[in-house]
Amino acid sequence: MSATTSIRIPGLMFIATAILSITLTASSISFAQQNPGMLVGLINDPVGARIANAKINIEGNNLKKEIRSSAEGVFQIDLPAGTYQISIESPGFRTFKRKDLQIKSNITKALDVVLDVKQLKYAKCPKGQTCIFL
């Protein structure tokens, strides 16, 4: 009869399972951090007309980007998860600003904006000359 000797180390299976669990958790966290979120939006004037070529500045999370709205007033950008500040401007309109814009991984955030019209300031014009709007 042959004798088989097995050595048991208490807790070895527990330690191996814990290491595997920590490795898988760290991998999933790392994977999630690499997936960007998306910011999409539509820029209109007060009567609902789309504003083309508006300048959109996005800052935060060690990132600074400038994009433009399309001819249809639409914008879209992938961003790493984090907190951002956004400003949107177009000639003849007041600048829109928003702080604490949260972007999450694998989530699309919609931001539709209505830009208010700037009030025109009139300069006094001498007779016979063209007035300039300020």
Look up the CATH number of the domain holding residue 50: 2.60.40.1120
In the chain, how many domains are there? Answer: 1
Residue 31: what pLDDT? 47
Is residue 99, in this structure, part of any structural domain at all?
yes
- Mean pLDDT over 38-60 rounds to 97
Q: Which of 85, 97, 93 is nearest to 115 (CA)?
A: 93
Give the pLDDT confidence score for residue 131 in this predicted structure.
67
Q: Tell whether 126 is covered by a domain.
A: no
Q: What is the mean pLDDT of the chain?
A: 82
In whole angstroms, what is the distance from residue 86 CA to residue 115 CA? Answer: 13
Which pTM value belongs to this model?
0.66
What gap in Å lies between CA 44 and CA 113, rounded to an integer? 6
31 inside domain? no
